[in-house]
């Protein structure tokens, strides 16, 4: 398969194109963690995108503007919001994730997300929760590193982040009881 | 993780602290690479109705060494 020249500034290209087209999205996965300062390498850009036909059309327009070939079948898959769409027809690889493991809703993740230098990035705790829920070998190997990175991140950026799982656990505890992790 | 960690983890934490001080452009420039993954990279695109369908496809089609299969319980 012929592929266009690799461009390391891929995260910036996606962020700018998605912003220009009004796409509702968050960086997740290892690419999101790298943007927050996780010292690692990744091949592709993982984006959690809101599932709606209108957002799907905006994604298609943004990808085309970034140099991706989007044929009509791929366009329909994106507009339909299939859970996972993997695209390799552009200057770099993009995974569109409409329903990541371990994150209940886009709206909740967006409310907990961070915006740094024009990048919308999922909360690190949500990124970790998603990796943990996937159960894949490669994700579980990353977890020990990501948890230590989160500890260092939260020392520099207070207050500590909270994931959907943390919030659900707080709600399920009896009033007045302590967080077992604290 | 409150117990004393081995030197490798302490070094990793130092690396995290250094990386967080670096500008976003450097994180991007040195954080993304191209690495060919057999089978996975051999189609222009794929779409899966559900994440479980995607996970099943990975288990059935990708080489084990790529790490996309479920970890043993």
What pLDDT digit, counting tens, does each position of A1-35 carry? Answer: 666 667 778 889 999 999 999 999 999 999 999 99
pLDDT interval class at B59 (50, 70, 90): very high
How near does any CA of chain B get to the CA of A176, in Å? 25
What pTM was estimated for this model as a whole?
A: 0.87
Q: Does residue A148 lie in a domain region?
A: yes
Q: Which residues of A touch B71 (CB under 8 A)?
A: 135-137, 140
Of B20, B46, B49, the CB nearest to A153: B20
Identify whether A1 is part of a domain: no
Among chain A residues, the shortest Cα distance to B69 is held by A136
Is residue A177 domain-resident?
Answer: no
A11·B9 Cβ contact <8 A: no
- Domain assignment of residue A14, given as a range: 8-172
Report ipTM (2 d.p.): 0.90
Domain definitions of chain B by residue range: 1-33, 35-73
Q: Calculate how close chain B gets to A114, using CA atoms only, in Å.
A: 14
In a domain, A181, yes or no: no
CATH of the domain at A113: 3.30.460.40
Residues of chain B positioned with their CB less than 8 A from the CB of A1: 41-44
User: Per the domain annotation, does A136 fall within a domain?
Assistant: yes
φ/ψ of B70, rounded to 5, equals -60, 140
Number of domains in chain A: 1
Give the span between the Cα atoms of B8 and A169, in whole angstroms: 32
């Amino acid at each position: 398969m012929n592929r266009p020249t690799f461009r390391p500034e891929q995260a910036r290209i996606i962020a700018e194109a998605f912003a220009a087209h009004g796409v509702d999205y968050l960086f997740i996965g290892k690419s999101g963690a790298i943007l927050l300062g996780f010292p690692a390498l990744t091949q592709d850009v993982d984006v959690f995108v809101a599932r709606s036909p209108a957002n799907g059309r905006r994604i298609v327009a943004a990808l085309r503007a970034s140099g991706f070939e989007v044929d009509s079948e791929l366009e329909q898959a994106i507009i339909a919001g299939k859970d996972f769409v993997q695209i390799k027809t552009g200057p770099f690889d993009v995974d569109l994730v409409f329903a990541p493991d371990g994150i209940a809703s886009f709206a909740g993740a967006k409310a907990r997300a961070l915006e740094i230098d024009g990048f919308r990035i999922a909360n690190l705790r949500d990124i970790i929760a998603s990796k943990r829920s996937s159960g894949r070998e490669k994700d579980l190997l990353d977890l020990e590193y990501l948890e230590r990175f989160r500890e260092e991140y939260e020392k520099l950026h207070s207050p500590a982040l909270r994931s959907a799982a943390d919030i659900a656990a707080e709600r399920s505890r009896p009033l007045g009881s302590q967080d077992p992790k604290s | 993780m409150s117990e004393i960690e081995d030197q490798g983890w302490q070094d990793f934490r130092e690396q995290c602290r250094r990386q967080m001080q670096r500008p976003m452009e450097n994180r991007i420039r040195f954080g993304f690479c191209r690495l060919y993954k057999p089978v996975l990279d051999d189609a222009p695109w794929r779409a899966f109705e559900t994440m479980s369908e995607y996970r099943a496809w990975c288990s059935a089609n990708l080489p084990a060494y790529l790490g996309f299969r479920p970890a043993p319980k």
